[in-house]
Structure 1
Amino acid sequence: MSRKLEGKIAIVTGGSAGIGFGTAKRFVQEGAYVFITGRRQAELDKAVAEIGRNVTAIQADASNLADIDRIYSIVKERAGRIDVLFVNAGFYELGTFGEITEEHFDKTFNTNVRGLLFAVQKALPLLAKGSSVILNGSIASMKGYPSFSVYDATKAAVRSFARGWIVDLKGRDIRINVLSPGHTETPGLAALADENVRNAMMVNVPLGRMGTPDDLAKAAVFLASDDSGYITGIELFVDGGVAQF
């Protein structure tokens, strides 16, 4: 049985936990060699051990431009190209309007917008013909949530980037799409919301359950593979229907 990403070189930023980790595992299962990045070496080591093969970990901060340069230097030396780039690393925390600080604004935008922009721009020389870029969005790109206005704005910016970049890159045969999760069980969500809050969130999901990292990973494989070869500039919601009402 053929694998959808056989022989492809992939990068997953924020690949040591949650959606990024689930996607890195799926990419390897589908035949890709994957570079994962993250800030914490211990988590990266654990991820590599669990994935088991065809994976390299690079400790890096996705909001640091020097770290981004170092990532691509390593990838260029070891693989020579990029076929799939999943810019997954992100940051969120509560910030109630009226109490938003410069630190909160800068930290959220530096990772989710500035870091994402330069992660894609700096990858351009390595992106192969027919490559796929996947931007991690959110249902927050189109819905408002209490105390999340700054985060919501970053995800709207990500959505806008995809629309603009596919025009800027016309003729390069590079596809750019946004993968937007809904309520997904990840370590980040667990740290932000206790079980009671997560159960309350689940009530609003038409499919009646929270998403899993593997739900997103399966969709990422579709966007990374030739199955989506004529799809670019879209926002694919993997949210159990919660953003659709």
Structure 2
Amino acid sequence: MKLKGKIALITGGSSGIGKATAQLFIQEGAQVIITGRDKITLDHTVQELGHHTIGIVTDAGSMKDLMHLNEELRQYTSHLDIVFVNAGFGKYAPLELIDEVHYEEMFNTIVRGTLFTVQQVLPLMTNNSAIVLNTSIVTEVGMPNSSVYSAAKSAVQSFTKTFASELISRGIRVNAVSPGPIQTNYFDRSNLSKEQVDSFTTSFAPQVPIQRFGLASEVAEAVMFLASEAASFIVGTELSVDGGFPKIKTK
């Protein structure tokens, strides 16, 4: 029960890495508040996770929703011990086909969403609390068709250090988890067809030294570590969960 008595917020918690993290947090004793865009999916997830879970319908890409997040949270809790800023998705396009809609979707959800989520939860954060951001391996390797997504995630990578520097004096540790290729529903909101997703998966898996995609539960373990007392002396760090890609080569 590493998180016994803790209250945690997980944005984008109705599926994928967010849901897996919520499951693990609850297993380790935490009360969890999850957010999601779709009420039906969110309600189903809350029911599945059980009575230790509260759901708030909110869109990380909407400034209106972000500005009401603090008010929404105060209906259920007076404080937060852990925040996992996880909401986001990826869209891809070659440079010639990137348009303003593509750009704004990525930066609104990933960059603006991360910044203002953290801003809005700060009044609720306790001394000796933790914030974990979700970055990506795309910040470390040039991948075709991912210019905007990579740039947005690079901003979050930068937030990890700047937020950590600003908030450590308030007793708030900020770190990040950087997932590699993970088996989730990540592509559901992307602009890729099923055939493109299948092709990407088939071609990408052999490039991962561990020879498989990761599991959402494996990323959740890393998030829990960074959020727990076991990481009490870790600040401003990005922890990679990527099976060794792209850092090492086996051939």
TM-score by length of 1: 0.95
- What amino acid is aligned across from residue 14 of structure 2 in structure 1? S
For 2:2 and 2:226, the matched residues in 1 are separated by 11
Aligned to 1:46: 44
1:213 to 206, 213, 216: 216
* Residue 23 (structure 1) aligned with residue 21 (structure 2): yes
1:202 to 202, 205, 209: 205
Is the CA contact 2:10–2:32 (under 8 Å) kept in the aligned structure 1? yes
For 1:69 and 1:81, the matched residues in 2 are separated by 17
* Residue 238 (structure 1) aligned with residue 236 (structure 2): no
For 1:38 and 1:99, the matched residues in 2 are separated by 29
2:86 to 76, 85, 88: 88
SS at match of 1:194: helix
* Residue 225 (structure 1) aligned with residue 225 (structure 2): no
Residue 71 (structure 1) shift:
2.9
Aligned to 1:165: 163
Residue 76 (structure 1) shift:
1.9
Residue 197 (structure 1) shift:
2.6
Which portions of structure 1, spanning 4 or more consecutive aligned residues, are displaced by more than 4 angstroms? none
1:11-67 deviation per Cα after TM superposition (whole angstroms, max 9, x unaligned): 110000111111111111111111110111111112112212200111110122331
* Residue 14 (structure 1) aligned with residue 9 (structure 2): no
2:103 to 82, 105, 112: 105
1:130 to 125, 128, 131: 128
For 1:45 and 1:72, the matched residues in 2 are separated by 20
Larger displacement relative to structure 2 (58-67 or 110-119): 58-67
For 2:66 and 2:83, the matched residues in 1 are separated by 13
Aligned to 2:77: 79
For 1:237 and 1:86, the matched residues in 2 are separated by 15
Larger displacement relative to structure 2 (59-68 or 191-200): 191-200
Is the CA contact 2:165–2:236 (under 8 Å) kept in the aligned structure 1? no
Q: CA RMSD in A?
A: 1.4
Consecutive unaligned residues of structure 2, counting only runs of 5 or more, are: none
Equivalent pairs, count:
243
For 1:4 and 1:31, the matched residues in 2 are separated by 7
SS at match of 1:98: helix
For 2:2 and 2:70, the matched residues in 1 are separated by 24
1:124-147 deviation per Cα after TM superposition (whole angstroms, max 9, x unaligned): 111110111010100011111110
- What amino acid is aligned across from residue 157 of structure 2 in structure 1? R
Consecutive unaligned residues of structure 1, counting only runs of 5 or more, are: none
For 1:197 and 1:166, the matched residues in 2 are separated by 35
Is the CA contact 2:36–2:42 (under 8 Å) kept in the aligned structure 1? yes
Residue 199 (structure 1) shift:
2.4
